[in-house]
Structures are given as structure tokens and as C-alpha cells.
Amino acid sequence: MFDNATILITGGTGSFGNTFVPMVLAKYNPKKVIIYSRDEMKQWDMAKKFQGDNRVRFFIGDVRDKDRLYRALDGVDYVVHAAATKIVPTAEYNPFECVKTNINGAMNLIDACIDKGVKRVVALSTDKASSPINLYGATKLASDKLFVAGNSYAGGHDTRFAVVRYGNVMGSRGSVIPFFMSIKDQGTLPITDERMTRFMISLEEGVELVWHAFEDMEGGEIYVKKIPSMKVTDLARVVAPNAKQEIVGIRPGEKLHEQMISAEDAYYTYEYPEHFKILPVINDWANSPERIKDGKKVPEGFVYASDNNTEWMSDADLQAWIDANREKIGSI
């Protein structure tokens, strides 16, 4: 699908973009991969990794700037929307800025992609968009709704939009594993609540879910990958077996357990071997056979959360992942 195609990634210098680009270059032969982001130093650092590969291009710009998006999207076939204000406390203290990026930016991108004839767009979401309790989650829920409705908003144009949603990304910037590893020698690890659980997904699995969405989508679907859970206390014990765990209390806007599918979503959710798919409720698309395919409807009241998960990550699996990614984690 991506052979000889032009792909643009908003927020492409982040953890996702740094994994997506080498994977897509290795598996496919795209004509161009355009990194669209606003931090020139991150672009400078990332460009060093792909020096000599003229398929990788860099474009300074902000999703808040619709004119710049129009220019960047000239000739683009596929877009991955990874740009976001995502740190929960940052969003709480800078709410206007969070809304400008996560909601207004989504609106700008949808408009620009339709007008520029982009074929397909996949937007990255988060567990925090399901039954949100903080501003970041609320803006990502609004963003998800915008991308789902974008398929209707496109009118007679061929541009199609879908969303992928996943939980805690192991080893991503700002996530718990690099944080624990950076302070494990201090002898004490802060634990917000000993009951806390988190979903565990690797960046590579996140990329593969995006690829699947591009291949499978009709427009308006939210894809949720089946992934294991782990208790935060177990995670801390694997990272630093000899460190003391100090309970510091849950932070404002933080959930005890991650949730990716709510009971309200269950009415429109179908299960597949490796993922779930929340279908759009507008235009009766939730009943369209081309979107359902071979899916099995989940039972009424179904909730997909990190505490009621049927799959759990073992200590050995986490240790194997840390051993394989130690160098990458250390560079974050």
C-alpha cells in the first residue's frame, strides 16, 4: 500500500515517528516520508539518523497553522496524525494551548486533507479519551469524534479517516519505564497507588496497528489493540528489585486503571483475533457489513480496561523487553 506513496506524519519527531519511519522504510518502499513538526532541534537530531536517505523529508510547521498544512500536504497520499499536547499536568495548567493543538489542530488537518485529496488519514488516540477525567483526555475524545465525523464532512471527496487507540507505550518519552530506570539507583521508587494497573504496548505494536488501520478502514472506525496489563507495583519490582516502593498518592487527572472501551461504546464494538473495533454511530455506519467484516459483537456492558483484562504481562516478558531495548530506553 505504501510502495511509491508519500506519507506525512504530524508530530513526527516524537517516540512514534522515530519508530514508524525506520519500520515503514524497511517494510515498504515509499516515495517520501515527510516529518511535520515544530521543534527544529528534534528535527535536526532525527535527520542525522536518516542522512543519505532522500526519501525522508523534514517540514517545520504546526498543526495550528492551516496554511502551512496546506503547503505540506501537496502530493501526500497518507497521513498519520501523531501531533498532540499530551502531558496531563501540562494540559491542565495550559488548557487553551491544549485545545488549540488537540482540537483546533485536528480540525485544520481534516480540512486540509480533504482539500488536498489525501487518500487516508489515521489519527493516534489514547486510553484517556475513553470516559475522560482530565483535559487531555477530553480534547482527545473531541479529536476522535472530529476524525470519525470527518468521513461524513468530506462529502463527495474520497478522503477517509480512522483512529487507533492504545494505552501506556513502553519506553516512550515521559512513560513510566524510562522514569523508573532513571531513578532506580536512588533506592526508592514513587508509586501513586499499589492497586494501579496499566496496559502495556510496544511502539512497534503501535506502528503495526496503524498499518492495519490503513489497510482495513472504510472510514470512521476506532481500532483498539488487544494488549496485556501489568500492575505498576510489579513493573517497579522488575525494573528495580531492591528498591523500596513509596506510595505517594494518585495525581490530579490520573486514573487508577486505564480504559480503552467503555460500556457505552460496547453497543458498537466488534471483536477480532488481535483487536477490537468501535464503529461510528453516525449515518448508521455501525451496521455496515463492509466495516463489520468478520467481527463478533461484544456483549452488552463490555468494558476493556487494564484491571479486567484477560491477558497479563509476566515479569519475565517485561524483563526480556527491557533487556532488548535497554539502549533505546537509555537515550530517551
Catalytic option among 86, 128, 140, 277: 128
Work out the number of other CB atoms within 10 angstroms of the CB of residue 138: 19
Q: Closest Cα partner for 25 from 9, 44, 45?
A: 9
Length of the chain: 332
- At 266, the amino acid letter reads A
Q: Does residue 100 carry a catalytic annotation?
A: no
Q: 46: Cβ–Cβ under 8 A, 6 or more apart, which residues?
A: 12, 13, 17, 18, 35, 58
Residue numbers annotated as active site = 128
